[in-house]
Structure 1
Amino acid sequence: MTAIALLSVAPVTEDSMAEEVAKAVAALDEFDVSYETNPMGTVVEADSVDELFDAAQAAHEAVDGDRVGTFLKIDDKRTREQRAHEKVDAVEEVLGRDAKRER
């Protein structure tokens, strides 16, 4: 997989967004992508940018609401295969520890 993206889809609402965000995440299951949801979005990995766009569009359209905001940030590594966890592993190697801290 060479295309990695950060996807965030959210309805504009005062209530909890969990139900609508769950719809967006579930929509990704229809595509040949890997993903991991975190508190600020979902990291999506695919073999091509086209697959990322298609999956992101489906996630966006799965959310109900009068207004939906979607953010898609793509890292299209064209020189070699790279997984999202490898990017984190590289930072942790330099740090000499996990790139995580609990308060």
Structure 2
Amino acid sequence: MTVIGFLSTAPVTEDSMAPAVANAIEALESHDVTYETGPMGTTIEADEIDELFAAVQAAHEAIDGDRVSTFLKIDDKRTSDDDAASKVDAVEEHLGRSAKSDE
């Protein structure tokens, strides 16, 4: 089984959030997950949901601040081992092209 999560975590601040987000991403390294960071959040994949939760907790706690905002969305399709890349591939197959705009 593959559990896929979409995580967005950051301090509530007017300053740049990049250093804090980098700390959160670095915290994922100590967990048995794979991840890819985009401009609005990080897709995380784990074999089990408890692994995903542990990684998310570590990322959340890695952010130093008086107030931290964390959003987590989980796809736990228990009848499939499809990873995040295969989900994108399926959409691109229907589109007949890449799921990105031409630059």
Cα deviation for residue 63 of structure 1 reads 0.1
Structure 2: state its 5+ residue gaps: none
TM-score (norm 2): 0.97
TM-score, scaled relative to structure 1: 0.97
Deviations 1:19-62 (A, max 9, x none): 00000000000001000000000000000111110000000000
How many pairs align? Answer: 103
Equivalent in the alignment of 1:46:
46
- Superposed CA RMSD in Å reads 0.9
**Unmatched runs of 5 consecutive residues or more in structure 1:** none
Shift of 1:102: 4.4
Q: 1:102–1:12: structure 2 CA closer, same or farther, 3 Å change rule?
A: farther
Q: % of aligned pairs identical?
A: 68
Q: 1:34 aligns to what? A: 34
Q: Which runs of 4+ in 1 moved over 3 A?
A: none
